Amino acid sequence: MKIFIDSGNLRDIESLVPLGIIDGVTTNPSLLAKEKEDPKAIIKKICRLVQGPVSAEVVATDAPGMVSEGRELAKIDEHVVVKVPFTREGLKAIKTLSDEGIRVNVTLIFSAPQALFAAKVGAAYVSPFVGRLDDISSDGLTLVRQIVEIFDQFDFGTEVLAASMRGPLHILEAARMGAHVATCPPAVIEACLKHPLTDIGLKKFLEDWEKAQAAKV
Ligand code: E4P
């Protein structure tokens, strides 16, 4: 499963890319609004850093506006994937952009039929929002499972990108279900790097080693 960073923060991305586990990045208007720099400049820098798919979202809500914004975003860098929200207008824009060879990540997916329709119009990725469904006492991971099951029956070529990941268990379960990608906030990736038994075990190995060295002197 591919791991994307869900962030618009260059420092966070710079610190995680050298680990070698990062395949791409997703941003959204809320994430980019937190940063001071021009959003297009940030997207360009992220593309250079990651050298993999980087989702940049349109903010227009009508199909012609989404299409022209999407075309502009795609010109920023070859790695840009245009993020389009799942709406009636969004569907028309996804079809047009996909037909032009521009990769589209369909965002704000909250039901399996939405994912199916997005795949039918050529989406490269669909993004079910796991955490936001959990927030309203629904089961976000069940949605991921349903979409993976549907995509396994057909030959859409659309990848399931589990989004709105709130913790390591979301990543674990998305991987077990066969989601192609999980996009994770930096803090969630950091949480996966740590295990108290690893720390305790390493400390003991090093102490034993030091003791043995001292005894030999
Ligand atoms: C996906 O691409 C979105 O940017 C993201 O996962 C939203 O997650 P949130 O619910 O934590 O805002």
Task: List pLDDT tens digits, range 175-191.
Answer: 999 999 999 999 999 99
CA of 166 to the centre of ligand 1 (A): 9
The answer on pLDDT for 217 being more than 90 is no
CA of 164 to the centre of ligand 1 (A): 4
Candidate of 183, 184, 188, 189 to mutate for ligand 1, largest count of ligand atoms within 8 Å of Cβ: 183
Please, is 134 exposed, middle or buried when counting C-beta atoms within 10 Å of its C-beta (0-12, 13-18, 19+)?
middle
28 lines ligand 1 (CB under 6 A): yes
Q: What is the pLDDT of residues 83-135, one digit of tens each?
A: 999 999 999 999 999 999 999 999 999 999 999 999 999 999 999 999 999 99
- Kindly report the pTM of this predicted structure: 0.96
Give the pLDDT of residue 175.
98
* pLDDT band, residue 43 (cuts 50/70/90): very high
Q: Give me the active site residues, please.
A: 83
